[in-house]
Amino acid sequence: MKYGILAALLATLLAAGAGYWFGSHSAAPALTPAAEAKPKPLYYRNPMGLPDTSPTPKKDPMGMDYIAVFEGEQDIESAAANQVKISTEKVQKLGVRTETARQQPLDRIVRAAGRIEPDERRTYAISPKFEGYIERLHVNVTGQPITKGQPLFEVYSPDLVSAQREYAIAMQGVASLKDAGAEPQAAMRQLAGSSLARLHHWDISEDQVKALSQSGEIKRTLTFRSPVTGIVTEKKALQGTRFMPGETLYQIADLSALWVIADVFEQDIGLVKLGAGATVKINAYPEKVFKGTVTYVYPRLATETRTVPIRIELANPGQLLKPGMFAQVELTVATTKPVITVPISAVIDSGIRRIVLVQIGEGRFEPREVRLGARNEHLVEVIEGVRSGEPVVVAANFLIDAESNLKAAIGGFTAAPAPSVSHRAEGRLEAVDIKTGTVSITHSPVASLKWPAMTMDFMLTHNALIGTLQPGAKITFSFVERKPGEWVITQIEAKAR
């Protein structure tokens, strides 16, 4: 009985052990391939960031292994190389502010230099149509303001006296022939009318002609009056001098409204439309803005300046504007086609290229070279480089440039993928060469570059960085890659104990 129980227990244990052995050995082949499968590297890149890759593993001249790059990592490395990373704390301290690039119509401002000129339609010349002499001047100063109907000068003319006498005689004849037949009366009235018309043709005022017709009194001199309110811009009349028919004695300009002749550059003339509003500013009155309207575009181009003159009409309240003044003209022109725009402050212009910082994520910014188009006072069109809806940095972008060594990041546009931010390491200063501006350092591993510990040469941004440090000193330092394979120390200091 006892032996039977022992046999049964032994058989059970053997069966369980056999099941365990069979299960473990049969399941292992199915799990091992999935667990041990590894992706195949696409290529191997230079550990120092040089533009050199290899399809197989190898070492660089310093004995460092090339770094494997797997599928998907090449895009990540390329994107990271062109990005600027700044901590959230520093972003807040710098006062970084972003705005979204928008697609909208862009109101352009066309600027032009101009000059104030009198309105040619409001300029009058006083030119008697008969020969005579100036007996007396009532207005004898150039620039004198006058009103309409104000006496200008008195003239004596034998022709004028003769015409008055003819008219007076004709009127007396009409009166004496009132009882005569119709034919003699008609002939005398025709003679009187001819004499009166002659006075009218000589621009004798209506009041003077009326006084002559009523009284019949012949006056030796007649007074010429101003036909308009304005300013005497030219005076040739001198008391006692003789004048000939058609000679200009006075020139009077009505300055209540003026012209601005502005020179618009050739590339902007297509945007100027008749009836468009214009803003005019004068240096003499910097706090005032004058409003005008474009009334004419001249059909000629000045080949010396490549500009086309346009005419702007504007009122002159208080006659503050003077002919000959220089004017700054602005024309607001709205585009009909929506374009992608960013604030002007978002563009960093180096003179060679134009960069906009696009916020990729929290504390991550990507510098992009952009191609710009039209602009106005606040916005600029982005033809290429930024998409609508992307946030761009509009404040503190120059501080980000200084804080994160943006120039190194921009270098990634044309160079092979390379780190664009500063790296930090510890080590021992081995040697200093002031003449060449280089130092030799034995440094610890650099995790951000996947570098092992080694001894290598670095360049200094300037020799003053080394200070009082001597070979053998333990140090901490920051460095960047200025160009492929050239590592430059930007900060170095003795390691705190």
Q: Within the chain, which residues score under 70 in pLDDT?
A: 1-38, 47-52, 61-63, 71-82, 179, 181, 213-216, 334-336, 397-421, 497
pLDDT for 202: 78
Please count the other Cβ atoms lying within 10 Å of the Cβ belonging to residue 47.
Answer: 17
CATH number of 257-334: 2.40.30.170
pLDDT for 316: 92
CATH number of 81-106+338-413: 2.40.420.20
pLDDT for 2: 42
pLDDT for 336: 64
pLDDT for 349: 81
Nearest by Cα to 376 from 113, 104, 106, 112: 106
pLDDT for 35: 45
pTM, 2 dp:
0.49
User: What values do phi and psi take at 41, rounded to 5?
Assistant: -60, 145
Domain parsing of the chain, residue ranges: 1-37, 43-80, 81-106+338-413, 128-247, 257-334, 423-494
CATH T-level fold of 423-494: OB fold (Dihydrolipoamide Acetyltransferase, E2P) (2.40.50)
Query: What confidence tens digit (pLDDT) does each residue in 368-410 have?
Result: 889 988 777 788 889 999 999 999 988 876 666 555 554 444 5
pLDDT for 199: 77
| Token digits of residue 301 | 């181009």
What gap in Å lies between CA 327 and CA 260, rounded to an integer? Answer: 8
Nearest by Cα to 242 from 165, 401, 336, 134: 134
Quick check: 395 and 381 in contact, CB under 8 A? no
| Segment (H or E) for 294 | strand 285-297
Same fold, 81-106+338-413 and 257-334: no
The Cα-based distances of 449 to 190, 252, 407, 444 in angstroms read 115, 83, 19, 12
Q: What is the DSSP letter of 59?
A: B
What gap in Å lies between CA 200 and CA 212, rounded to an integer? Answer: 12
What gap in Å lies between CA 68 and CA 79, rounded to an integer? Answer: 17
For the CA atoms of the chain, what is the radius of gyration? 48
Q: Is 205 left (phi over 0), alpha (psi -120 to 50) or beta?
A: beta
Q: What is the DSSP letter of 225?
A: E
SS3 146: strand
Quick check: 448 and 436 in contact, CB under 8 A? no
